[in-house]
Amino acid sequence: MSQTLACPSCGTSNPLPEDLRTGTFTCVSCHQELRTAELADGASRSVDALVGWMNEAVQQPFDPASIATAPKLEDESTAVRPMPCLKCGQTVDVPLDLTAKQVRCEACDRTWPVSAYIDDAERLQLDMARQVAENEALKRLVAEGLDCPSCGAHNDVPDDHRVQLTCTHCGATVRLSDHVEAGAVARRRLKHGVFAMRDELVARQEAAKRRERTIVFVLVGGMVAVGVGMAALSALGGLLGAWFGLG
């Protein structure tokens, strides 16, 4: 993948669509059709799917069953911990991602629950630490800015929902997930997307009080249902508190 979202056909740097649910877009130069899924990271695309889903969910009477249909956030950890197999002693890479439930030893062909090696509480702790570290790296990027990979010019990185920026010097598109973990960019996008949704709801003051409550339940239920659980709630920080404070 190019560091400046270059069109595979003509090499021109292209901005991604504002809504990453958009399946295809057209190269600004040669008009070749480009696929968003090939150029935007999966984490940010999953955020747009989830925020889109939440926006639709709050337009309808609250239905707890609908939470099962919430799109899943893509934010897997790829980290592993090498440990000796419980049966044969050969080294196995035990996944630290919370959604991984089993680990197989290639040497003796035995499969064990991951929890036989590392308990889920420790994995949750490690995953929260990972998310915090990734968020800190993004904060540093926002504080320091970045150098355009195409021309080297220094650019500010605004603290908003964006996944990309346009170099102020050469116009190249710079994808933030090429500079920090995609998960951190996606979590920030989710936070801003949810804030925007809340602001819109508050603006529609008439039915607001009831709907704010509904949306909190939709959000919390949805997060837990899609298996993000505590880690994502922690990443959202004081957001829920801010919401409850509105009532």
Residue closer to Zn ion by CB (options 114, 167) is: 167
Q: Are 173 and 15 in contact (CB under 8 A)?
A: yes
Interface stretch with Zn ion, choices 145-153, 181-189, 192-200, 223-231 (CB under 5 A): 145-153
- Site for Zn ion contains 88 (CB under 5 A): yes
Residue closer to Zn ion by CB (options 101, 169) is: 169
37, 129, 133, 151: which one binds Zn ion (CB under 5 A): 151
- Site for Zn ion contains 27 (CB under 5 A): yes
107 secondary structure, DSSP code: T
CB of 85 to Zn ion, least distance (A): 3
Residue closer to Zn ion by CB (options 163, 223) is: 163
Residue closer to Zn ion by CB (options 3, 214) is: 3
Other Cβ atoms less than 10 A from the Cβ of 89: the count is 11
21, 140, 169, 209: which one binds Zn ion (CB under 5 A): 169
- Site for Zn ion contains 170 (CB under 5 A): yes
Task: Quickly list DSSP for 136-149.
Answer: HHHHHHHHH-EE-T
Site for Zn ion in 106-135 (CB under 5 A): 107-108
- Site for Zn ion contains 104 (CB under 5 A): no
Residue closer to Zn ion by CB (options 22, 234) is: 22
Residue closer to Zn ion by CB (options 53, 112) is: 112
The number of helices, as runs of H, and strands, as runs of E, in the chain is: 7, 10
Interface stretch with Zn ion, choices 63-71, 85-93, 188-196, 232-240 (CB under 5 A): 85-93
Other Cβ atoms less than 10 A from the Cβ of 36: the count is 17
Length of the chain counted residue by residue? 247
Determine the Cα–Cα distance for residues 181 and 157; give it in Å rounded to an integer.
Answer: 15
CB of 15 to Zn ion, least distance (A): 13
Other Cβ atoms less than 10 A from the Cβ of 55: the count is 16
CA-closest candidate to residue 198, choices 157, 158, 142, 236: 236
Host H or E run for residue 92: strand 91-95
- Site for Zn ion contains 105 (CB under 5 A): yes
Task: Quickly list DSSP for 149-204.
Answer: TTT--EE---SSS-SEEE-TTT--EEEGGGTS-HHHHHHHHHHHHHHHHHHHHHHS
Residue closer to Zn ion by CB (options 29, 99) is: 29
Q: Three-class SS of residue 240?
A: helix
Amino acid at 76: E
- Site for Zn ion contains 34 (CB under 5 A): no
- Site for Zn ion contains 186 (CB under 5 A): no
For Zn ion, the binding residues (CB under 5 A) are: 7, 9-10, 12, 27, 29-30, 32, 85, 87-88, 90, 105, 107-108, 148, 150-151, 153, 167, 169-170, 172
